[in-house]
Structure formats: C-alpha cells, structure tokens
Amino acid sequence: MNRLMKIINEMSYEDLQKIQLDVEQGVLKELVEERLAFLEDDNKVCPTCHNKPPADALVLQFGPADLRKQVYCCAMDCLEYFLKQLKRQNYHREKKIKQE
C-alpha cells in the first residue's frame, strides 16, 4: 500500500479527479482484476519465442469485438515479429479471397 500511497501523493489535482471517476465507474476495479488474472495464469506463453512472459509483458489485443484475442509478448522484438507474421497471414488470406 505504501507504493500506491506514494503514487497518489505525487498526483496532480486533475489526475486525482480522473482516478476518482475511474473508481466510481468501476474501471479501476476492472484493471486490478485483469492484472491479477494475468499474474495468476501460469499458462501464458510468448507466441514468438515460447518463453513465459514476465509480469510486465507487452499485451496485444486483436480481432473483432465479439472474438477478442490476447497475446503476451516478452519483449518488443517478439511483438514486432508476431505483428509481421500476422500481417503476412492476413495478406495471404486476402489474396486467396480475391482469387476466388
């Protein structure tokens, strides 16, 4: 709690108002729950190097709104490689659809 208190004490009035609004709307609760779920899940694997991502992993959410997917990359180079492969996959899919 000391770290949180320290952060709050260093915030400006405007930032505190925004945080208060987030608390009232439940946004902060949702953020904490998402972070806890991430830390509790031992099955996460970086899609590029297949290592377990660290607690401060880079998270990418993608896909249509009704079918969101998340990937946890352990470093920026893994995320960049994943995005390149995703673009390549989409390019080939679109090319195949145009040929049909």
H or E element that contains 34: helix 27-40
Once rounded to an integer, what is the mean pLDDT over residues 70-81?
Answer: 92
Q: Which residues pair with 58 in a beta bridge?
A: 73
pLDDT at 76 over 80: yes
Residue 1 has a pLDDT of 67
Whole-model pTM: value is: 0.53
Spatial contact of 60 and 75, defined as CB atoms under 8 Å apart: no
Encode pLDDT of 23-67 as tens digits. Answer: 999 988 988 888 887 777 777 889 999 998 888 889 998 888 788
State the DSSP code for 60: E
The secondary structure of 79-99, three-state, reads HHHHHHHHHHHHHHHHHHHHH
